[in-house]
Amino acid sequence: VLYAQMNTVMLSWWKPEEAVGLFSAAVMPVGILLIVPSMFMESIFPAFSAYADAGSPGLVRAYRASFRALLLIGLAMGAGTMVVAGPVIGIIYGPDFAGAAPVLRVLAIQLLSMVGYVNGALLQATGRQIAFARVRAGLTALNAVLCLLLIRPLGYMGAALAAVIPGAIDMFLYTAWCHRSLGLGFPWRLIGRAACCATAMALATFLGLRVGVPLVVVVLLVAPTVYGVALVALRVLDREEYQYLSRVLQYARWRKRLLPHSEAKGG
């Protein structure tokens, strides 16, 4: 979202208001969907902090479960948004904003990499805030450079590409960093299987819309069903892991509620 906001400003320097309007129209749905990982990060951060302070092996398990959950959510949202971008833009803004649909498809890549929010929570909980901030500052600078290079020749599509490239680097870089710090290998297999499931879902969504199935039915019934079946078939879902994650999130909520009371008593 930060990249998109910056790029909106830089786009306005060189391109007309129409281009800025189309880009902003595509940014809005993505910004709304990114509320999901933000809320998830706020929920899981207290648990990460507690495990890190105690040196508990539960930190590894909590991170793996959180990573898997947000990866699956992000891939579903990103792939689905790419397919339904046209109808969604038409419903929200009308036919005059049809040019925003290709931009939304590009910006949907940010949803694919929303698992980076879990990485950020882990790095901050384990005392790596300064290093995290430095890398983030470097990626923000890269975004600005890409805007300078891409906006003039490509317009609002260049602004979209400039936003998603640092985001993709962010996801892979922090994922490698977090997994290595916890003694885990890079989750290529998990990402590959989850991507296959998301592709199957996207294909079913595309075909459903193509044959005239209503958008609401496709989004609420067809896509979730196909995605769920694919996840089970490829054994991506781990019931025990998600039961554990549910307990972790419940613990985190209680810790978040009790912490202010304990600080008040201590003061």
pLDDT tens digit sequence for 156-213: 999 999 999 998 999 999 999 999 999 999 999 999 999 999 999 999 999 999 999 9
Instruction: Look up residue 56 and give its DSSP letter.
Output: -
Instruction: Look up residue 15 and give its DSSP letter.
Output: S
pLDDT tens digit sequence for 217-245: 999 999 999 999 999 899 887 776 666 66
Distance in angstroms between the alpha carbons of the first and the last residue of the chain: 37
Establish if 142 belongs to a structural domain. Answer: yes
Question: What is the rounded distance in angstroms from the CA atom of residue 202 to the CA atom of residue 204?
Answer: 5
Among residues 71, 148, 121, 138, the alpha carbon closest in space to that of 249 is found at 121
pLDDT tens digit sequence for 75-106: 999 999 999 999 999 999 999 999 999 999 99
Q: Strand runs (DSSP E) across 91-230, as ranges?
A: none
pLDDT for 54? 61
Question: What is the rounded distance in angstroms from the CA atom of residue 243 to the CA atom of residue 57?
Answer: 17
Question: What is the rounded distance in angstroms from the CA atom of residue 224 to the CA atom of residue 66?
Answer: 20
Q: What is the pTM of this model?
A: 0.85
Establish if 201 belongs to a structural domain. Answer: no
CB 231 within 8 A of CB 199: no
Instruction: Return the amino acid letter for 239.
Output: R
Question: What is the rounded distance in angstroms from the CA atom of residue 184 to the CA atom of residue 170?
Answer: 18
Domain that holds residue 82: 2-186
Establish if 96 belongs to a structural domain. Answer: yes
CB 222 within 8 A of CB 205: yes
Number of separate domains in the chain: 1
pLDDT for 11? 92
- On the 0-12 / 13-18 / 19+ scale of CB atoms within 10 A, 191 is middle
Establish if 256 belongs to a structural domain. Answer: no
Establish if 23 belongs to a structural domain. Answer: yes
pLDDT for 88? 93
Establish if 104 belongs to a structural domain. Answer: yes
Among residues 229, 114, 127, 98, the alpha carbon closest in space to that of 168 is found at 114
Establish if 247 belongs to a structural domain. Answer: no
